[in-house]
Structures are given as C-alpha cells and as structure tokens.
Chain A
Amino acid sequence: MEIKFGLISSDSHGQLGKDAYTARMSKQKWGDRVPHIIEVRDEKFSDPVERWIVNGEIQGGNVCNCPTAMNERGYYPQRWEEVPRAVYEPAERLKALDRDRVDGEVLFPNGPGGTFFYDNAEFELDCVRAYNDALAEYRAASDRFIPLAVIPFMSSMATIVAEVERAAKAGHMGINMLADPSAAVKGLKNLGDPFWHPLWNACQELGVGVHLHASAGLAGKLSLPQWKGYSRRQAHCVSTLRNFCTATQIVPYLIFSGMLDKFPRLNWVFAETGLGWVSSVLEACDHEWGKRRLWTDGIATRPSDLFRRQIYVDFWFETVGIELRDYIGVDRILWESDFPHITSTYPNSWDAVEHSLQGVSAEDREKVLFRNAARLYRLT
C-alpha cells in the first residue's frame, strides 16, 4: 500500500452489495433463506422500507448502517437506493478515502455479516464463504482495503481452519472473533477452551490477527438491564459507552488463561474500544500477578509485557489513552475512523487526529497513525 496521507483506519465497516449472497449461494439449496433485501412495513415509517432478510428472519436495524456517509449526517437510509455507492462499491469508496485523506482501511462487517447463527451449520458455512468471497473483492480492487474474514463457528474445527486458510489466500488479513462464543450459541466453547487452539495455531502460522470489535458479542451480557425510560439517544449513549467493558475483561482473560504464552506470535486486536482503560487494566493485571506470584503458577511473563508483545488497541476521539501511550506501548496503538458508523470521524478525520495528538512527537504520530497498522498487516 502506498502511504500518501499517512493515515490508516484500523476499523471501518465494509458493506457488501445487495446481491453479494444471492450471486454466490445456491438458490436450489437454500431458496429464499439466502440473505437478500425485501420490502417490508415498519411502524416507525409511513412508507414501506427495505430490510435484509436472512433465513426468513428480517434483520433489525436499517437496510444499511452508514449515517456518516449520508448527505444529512445521522440519517439512516431506509431503502437500498438511498445508500451511497461509497459505502459498498470499492471504486467509489476509494474516493471517500481520498476525500478524508486516509490511505487505507481495515474492513469489519456491516450487516448482515459477522455471524450467521440460524441453527444450521451448513447454512452458516455457505453464508460465511459468500461473505468472505464478496469482501475479498475489495482487496482485488485495491490494496488500500484490508479485509477481515468471518468464521463458521458452528462447523468442525477442521472446517473452520480450512475456511481461514482459504480466506487468507484470497487476501483476508485477519479474522473476526467473538469474546465468548459459548454466550452466543449453545454448545459452542468459550474463548479459553482448548477447542480453539488449532484455530489460534492456524492464525499464528498464517500471520493473521484475531480481531474483537467493540463488545464482541457481549453487548447484552456485560450490561445492566436496559432501562425502558431512556430516549433513543440516551439508550444509544449508554449502550455505546459500556461496550469497552468487554475489552477490559477479555484482556485479563487472555493474560490469565495462559493463551498468550501458548501462542506467542499470535496478535489480538481490539477495535472500537479506545485506549484509556488499558493503563488501569494493565496496572491491575501486573498488581495481581505480583501479589499472587503468578509466575510460579504458569503465567511466566509479566502481563504488561504480554500486552505489549501481542495486543493492539484502536482509538479515534480520545486524549486519555494518548497521554498514557508510553505505558500502554506506543507500538500497540492503532487509529480508526469507524466509517461509516455514527461515531465516525469521517469526513474530518484529520481534525480528530490533531485533537488527540497534540504535543505528540513526529515519531509517535507516525506509529499510531499508520506505521503500526502497516507492520501488523504487513502492508509495506
């Protein structure tokens, strides 16, 4: 990837086209269960709206989550024809990147994508393959796109590993993971279970990192019961704010499970979690490790050293974590725009960058803005 602007977004959301699944999945085998868009009624709107439907289930939310790509910022399109092509067509999306003066972007899912839990492992696998193939087309269009694969959670480990290997060959540079698969689907194993070891091993050998995005599937779990009295805006604030609670628990989980020493070259990436919490979590981990002498108990390496060896974290608006960057590890920090979601810095990403990086040396700036991402994804 050519570095022209000096800025890589390590968390953006790549929308697939409306025919992404229908063009790739067998109509004969799956019929109308294939993800596609249909017209439905929604009580909040007087006119008919469009929604994705998967396995016969209408997907919540809007037809596309892209409120910062709209002319009226904050508006969520209700029909596919309203969705700007910059959200789902690679060539148009490159223009949006240029406008925001961003060199490249890591592509997390935009619905439907991510998980396909419909009590049918074969259906899930076909959806996953279609998703990974469709998203790989971004990479084929330009090396400014860094796609991340999704995995067929309900398949056998051999099938999961085969899909990750296939996706890596097609240009994917990481995988999306849930913080606790066992909380998502009955029968799946939790993150620390040895069941996942072949996957960690495969990712380590392929050099692709494991990515946990925001609450990584635990939004409804690590949260007080939602209060019915909240307005839509309040509810969104509360739910967004507590998402980083997952990361603050998964980092200690990775450390105290012994997984990081077991797979010492595997990278873990926390997207849309911010940075500021890292210092207190590492202080807590180091403190507990020291008080309990856990080096005598299988946790050979100091937790903050483990973090600085194998974990990356993203920021987009903050100053707290930047002030603490030396302690977090300036080599472990990535910048993100979160395009095209509501919290995104687009199209004024450099204003956000300058707000966060006041007083930061040129060397550190380059690291957090693009050099760390370039190293992690082997871009240059």
Chain B
Amino acid sequence: MQLKYGLISADDHVEEHGTVWTQRMSKAKWGERIPHLQTQSDGSQRWAIDGVPAERGPVTEEKQMAGAAYDPRQRLEAMDADGVDYSVLYPTVAGLAGERFGKLADADLELACVQAYNDWLIEEWASVSPRFVPQCIVPIWPMERAVAEIRRAVARGHKGVIYPASPMELRNVPHINEPDYDPLWAVCAELEVPLCFHSGASSKIQMRAGDTFTPAAAQAFDGIVRSVSSIAVLANFLFSRVLDRFPNLKVVFAESSLGWIAYEIEYADYQSAADGLQSEGYSLKPSELFQRQCFVSCWYDQKSLRVRKYPSSANILWSTNFPLESSTWPSTRAHLDRAFAEVPDAERRQIQWQNAAKLYNL
C-alpha cells in the first residue's frame, strides 16, 4: 500500500454507466428486462429495471463531478485534487445500499444483475488502479446463492460485501435476525471481508419531505434522514446476537455519523442494564460488541469528534462521500484540518486511514 495524502475514503459511490448491464447480460434471455437507459419524451434519460422506469435519472447531482462519477481515470484525478489515496466503492443505480435488485421478484434476474455489476466493477474500475477498493453486492436470497456470489466476487478481487440491512422489506424473505442468514455472516468472517450496511436500505424508516419543501430543501432533508435512519438498523443489530455468535465478523455502518452513533452506544449500555439484559446471556455490553466488531463511517462531522471515545478511534472510518452533492469534495483537506484540530496525531491517522487499511487488508 502506498500513501501520498494519508486519507482513505471509506464511502464513495460509482455511478454505473448506461451499458454496464446490457454488455454483460443475455439479450436473448432477458430482453427489455435488462437494466438500461430509456429516453423519455422530453429527451431526458431514465433507468428501466425489469421493464420498470426508475425515479431518478442517470446523472450525478453535481454537474462538475459528473465525469468523475462514471469514469475511473477522471475519478483518480478527482481523488488527487482532493487528497484521497484510496476509495472504497459503493453503487448508485444498484442502490446506495446495494438494495435495488433485492426488490426484483425474479431471483434469477436478480442474480444476473448482481453478477454483471460485480464483474463490471472489477473489469472497469479495480483493474485500472489499486487505489479503488471494490465491494460486491449480493443477491439477497436464497442464502446459497448469496454465499456463492460472495465467494465468486471475493475471488475476483472484491474486498467488502454490501448487503441491505432490511432485506425483509425488499421482498418476502426471512427477518434479518433469523438463523437463515448465518451462512452470510459466516462467509464474511471466513473470507475476512467486512459486511457493509450502508444507510438507505429501507425507505420505510426515512420520513418524506413535506409537500411544501422546495426541491433543494427536500434533497437536503432526504440526505439527512437517510443517514440517521440507520439508528433503527443499529438498534436492532446490537441486540440481534449476530455479533455475539460471529465474533470474527466485521460490520461497517456506512454513511452514518459520529454523534448519534456515540449516543446510541451509550444509550444501549444504559437501557440494556435498566432492562436487565445481562441476565439473558450476553457476554458483552453493546458498546463492547460495537468496539470489537463494528465501524462507523463519517464525512461532515466536526464537533462530534469530541465524543469519538464512545465508538473508540479504532472504530471510525472517514469518507468524502463522493460524488453525492453533500460530499466534502473538493475541499476535504480544509474540512479535515478544521475537524481534527484538537485530535492527537495518532488518532487522526487511525481514523483517516489506518482503520480502513486494516479492515480492507490493503
């Protein structure tokens, strides 16, 4: 691993271009069901997946980032401009939390779409530079398929596994706490790849902007509630016993933030004591489970760094969240200098690159 700037961005997004799936899926077998761009009557383009038009268009919100959103070589230039050494990649069209294809009723189509994404990310991004850290998406069900795809993808070079935190809200599959998912936790632990819950996996736990919001205010609101909606995900996961039962599993809560994670961890310890949970066979307090196995990724946080001891500096990852509009790009360095002014150098290095380097085995 080579570091020039001292920053690994642990949560960025690729924007999938128009032929990611059409180039890799059988036209004879899938026809118009293949994810592709449709031109609308007004000339704009929309993704269509399984024949259903998506809500959003293909272009990243911020125009100046558009090229670097799609193109890995331009992305490297954007990373250099912002002082980023490595970038951990999450999808966009396939869902910010890798949830989009889990909604498909046809599990065969789901698998074909997932495999095309995973192959594309290796062929067109990871092969261009070792500075890209590819993470695979997963067919949510059945478990044998999920596990097989994780093995295949990791063998091809993927370094992390993106799984939607609430698969039971995508289609009719068991609750994520059920033992049915044990093979998922087990394979990630065995292959030593982190399992990543990115915010936004469930739209139900995100409030909608009111009718009276302006479009820009509504976008700001949507971005914030997506991040904090992971409060509900962490509340469930801390008590689900998955962490107890798979002590070598590593879990990333991507696009969250430090303040509420710190508070939720302290609250979890307080409430589990108040409710007498120690009598029910938990070997560790929620805070200890988190520190042993979980990571939070931040990007805009500043003052909240004061409470970094609650997750602990060994459990915090940094990111620029490129190319979302709320990204700190292109002024990440200035942001970091402000945010870390009072943080000792050793902890600064942990948070800005060492934790991610270790987690992703770079």
* Chain B contact residues: helix, strand, loop or mixed: helix
Q: Which of A227, A253, A256 contacts B175 (CB 8 A)?
A: A227
Within B311-335, the residues touching A (CB, 8 Å) are: 325-326
B239 touches A238 (CB 8 A): yes
**Interface assignment of B284: CB less than 8 Å from any CB of chain A:** no
A231 touches B232 (CB 8 A): no
Give A288 to B324 CA distance when docked, in angstroms.
11
Report chain A residues within 8 Å CB of B219: 292
Report chain A residues within 8 Å CB of B268: 237, 241
A320 touches B263 (CB 8 A): yes
A selection of 5 A-B contacts at a CB cut-off of 8 Å is A192-B211, A222-B206, A230-B177, A317-B270, A320-B310
Looking at the assembled complex, report how far the CB atom of A56 sits from the nearest CB atom of chain B, in whole angstroms: 31
Report chain B residues within 8 Å CB of A258: 212, 217
Looking at the assembled complex, report how far the CB atom of B274 sits from the nearest CB atom of chain A, in whole angstroms: 6
Report chain A residues within 8 Å CB of B306: 323-324
- Could you mark each residue 234-273 of chain A with 1 if its beta carbon is under 8 Å from any beta carbon of chain B, else 0? 1011101110110011101100111000000000000000
A318 touches B263 (CB 8 A): yes
Looking at the assembled complex, report how far the CB atom of B177 sits from the nearest CB atom of chain A, in whole angstroms: 4
A223 touches B232 (CB 8 A): yes
Report chain A residues within 8 Å CB of B165: 224
A342 touches B275 (CB 8 A): yes
Binding site for B on A (CB under 8 A): 74, 180, 190-194, 218, 221-225, 227-231, 233-234, 236-238, 240-242, 244-245, 248-250, 252-253, 256-258, 274-281, 283-285, 287-289, 291-292, 294, 297-299, 317-321, 323-324, 327, 342-343
A245 touches B205 (CB 8 A): yes
Give A298 to B204 CA distance when docked, in angstroms.
28
Query: Known contacts A180-B207, A224-B233, A280-B304; is A292 also within 8 Å of B220 by CB?
Result: yes
A281 touches B166 (CB 8 A): no
Report chain B residues within 8 Å CB of A180: 207
**Interface assignment of B229: CB less than 8 Å from any CB of chain A:** yes
B178 touches A229 (CB 8 A): yes
B326 touches A291 (CB 8 A): yes
Query: Known contacts A225-B168, A275-B263; is A280 also within 8 Å of B258 by CB?
Result: yes
Looking at the assembled complex, report how far the CB atom of A52 sits from the nearest CB atom of chain B, in whole angstroms: 24
Report chain A residues within 8 Å CB of B202: 224
Give A83 to B326 CA distance when docked, in angstroms.
52
A233 touches B280 (CB 8 A): yes
A343 touches B271 (CB 8 A): yes
B216 touches A297 (CB 8 A): yes
Within B129-184, the residues touching A (CB, 8 Å) are: 165-166, 168-169, 175-178
B217 touches A294 (CB 8 A): yes
Report the nearest B residue to A242, measured CB to CB: B235
Within B257-295, the residues touching A (CB, 8 Å) are: 257-264, 266-268, 270-272, 274-277, 280
Report the nearest B residue to A319, measured CB to CB: B266
B228 touches A245 (CB 8 A): yes
B210 touches A193 (CB 8 A): yes
**Interface assignment of B221: CB less than 8 Å from any CB of chain A:** yes
Query: Known contacts A237-B239, A256-B221; is A318 also within 8 Å of B267 by CB?
Result: yes
Report the nearest A residue to B259, measured CB to CB: A280
Give A238 to B272 CA distance when docked, in angstroms.
9
**How many chain-B residues does the 8 Å CB contact rule pick out?**
68
Known: A238-B235, A274-B267, A324-B259. 12 other contacts (CB 8 A): A222-B232, A224-B233, A237-B275, A245-B231, A252-B224, A256-B213, A276-B266, A280-B259, A280-B301, A288-B326, A291-B325, A327-B303
A321 touches B263 (CB 8 A): yes
A192 touches B231 (CB 8 A): no
Looking at the assembled complex, report how far the CB atom of A298 sits from the nearest CB atom of chain B, in whole angstroms: 6
**Interface assignment of B248: CB less than 8 Å from any CB of chain A:** no
**Interface assignment of B209: CB less than 8 Å from any CB of chain A:** yes
A256 touches B228 (CB 8 A): no
A229 touches B177 (CB 8 A): yes
Report chain B residues within 8 Å CB of A297: 214, 216-217
Query: Known contacts A281-B224, A283-B301; is A253 also within 8 Å of B207 by CB?
Result: yes
**Interface assignment of B22: CB less than 8 Å from any CB of chain A:** no
**Interface assignment of B240: CB less than 8 Å from any CB of chain A:** yes
Report chain A residues within 8 Å CB of B224: 249, 252, 281, 284-285, 288
Report the nearest B residue to A250, measured CB to CB: B207
Report chain A residues within 8 Å CB of B5: none
Q: Which of B228, B232, B258 contacts A224 (CB 8 A)?
A: B232
Give A284 to B220 CA distance when docked, in angstroms.
9
Looking at the assembled complex, report how far the CB atom of B204 sits from the nearest CB atom of chain A, in whole angstroms: 7
Give A79 to B173 CA distance when docked, in angstroms.
42
Report the nearest A residue to B169, measured CB to CB: A225
**Interface assignment of B236: CB less than 8 Å from any CB of chain A:** yes
**Interface assignment of B45: CB less than 8 Å from any CB of chain A:** no
A289 touches B239 (CB 8 A): no
**Interface assignment of B38: CB less than 8 Å from any CB of chain A:** no
Report chain B residues within 8 Å CB of A249: 206-207, 224-225, 228-229
A192 touches B257 (CB 8 A): no
**Interface assignment of B360: CB less than 8 Å from any CB of chain A:** no
Report chain A residues within 8 Å CB of B59: none
Report chain B residues within 8 Å CB of A228: 175
A278 touches B267 (CB 8 A): no
**Interface assignment of B104: CB less than 8 Å from any CB of chain A:** no
Report chain B residues within 8 Å CB of A289: 220
Give A327 to B235 CA distance when docked, in angstroms.
25
Give A371 to B288 CA distance when docked, in angstroms.
36
B280 touches A283 (CB 8 A): no
Looking at the assembled complex, report how far the CB atom of B98 sits from the nearest CB atom of chain A, in whole angstroms: 17
Report chain A residues within 8 Å CB of B326: 287-288, 291
